[in-house]
Amino acid sequence: MHPEKADKERPFFQALKDKHAKCGQPFTIGEKLVLPAIKEVISTVMERDPTHVLKSLPLSNDTVARRINEMGADTEEQLCVILQDSYFSIQLDETTTSDNNALLMSTIGPPTVSEALTDDRLLIYIDHLRMVKADMEIRFKDLLDLDVPIWVVQPFQADVVNKCEPAIQEHLIDIQCDDEAQATFLTSDWGSMWVKYAELYPALWEKIKLLLLSFPTTYLVEQGFSQVLHMQSKYRNRLDLMDSGALRLKLTSLQSAVKKLTEKHQVQGSH
């Protein structure tokens, strides 16, 4: 109706989409909130009968659940395609023990330790610390055995001629003379610098990329646990996150091919 206002309004509605698109609300929110709001707008503002419009909007719990599962499956297909041509690592879960009492020693005050520390408790703490140490040695063995060349973490201080293999010496000299790369290294970490200049120095990147995969982050795992607790609330305790695409959509940065998915469905007619 007002195309001249489209550019001004677009950022507002985009912000609303970014805020509410992945809010993790129950699937029934469409029936309980969206449909009543549409009904009120059509009947009050437009002064029309909203029945025909409301019947054409498939927002029931089951319908929304099916659409979410389809979107989740679509993002999973996209991810599989990406992984087929990408390097990635599989990280084990973080160190856990059956009893976290040993970790309490770092959080309780010394007035408490002197009163509560008995020989029996001390032996328990020692056993737990030994378990944690043994567990960490097993889980991080690959990292402890990993040989990271000095030029990877200190590319501008490395002795190229005496400490680096001949095949990459010329490339290292080039990057040591690159003022922009050096500025990037000083303002960020070495991993970020190599990722940024991967295409410019492919011979060096070929040796570095597998090393970077040895240091994955647990952020997404932690976020996943947080979202599970949020989504499995008392109002949604029957939601099966293993079969539902809700959790995948909540965590992924990939965008579902909505247009492709909608072409598979016919518009719901009124009855």
Residue type, 168: I
Q: What is the dihedral of CA 160, 164, 166, 169, to 10 degrees?
A: -40
C-alpha–C-alpha distance, residues 63 and 34, integer Å: 14
What is the model's pTM?
A: 0.52
Q: Which residue has the tokens 């990057």?
A: 175
The predicted-structure confidence for 57-110, as pLDDT tens digits, reads as follows 888 888 888 888 899 899 888 988 887 777 665 554 444 333 333 333 333 344
Give 259's pLDDT tier (boundaries 50, 70, 90): confident
**Cα→Cα distances 253→13, 31, 64, 129, 249, Å:** 20, 27, 20, 38, 8
Structure-token pair, residue 120: 């029996």
**pLDDT, tens only, 174-221:** 999 999 999 999 988 888 899 899 999 999 998 888 777 766 556 666
Which residue is listed with tokens 């993790």?
24
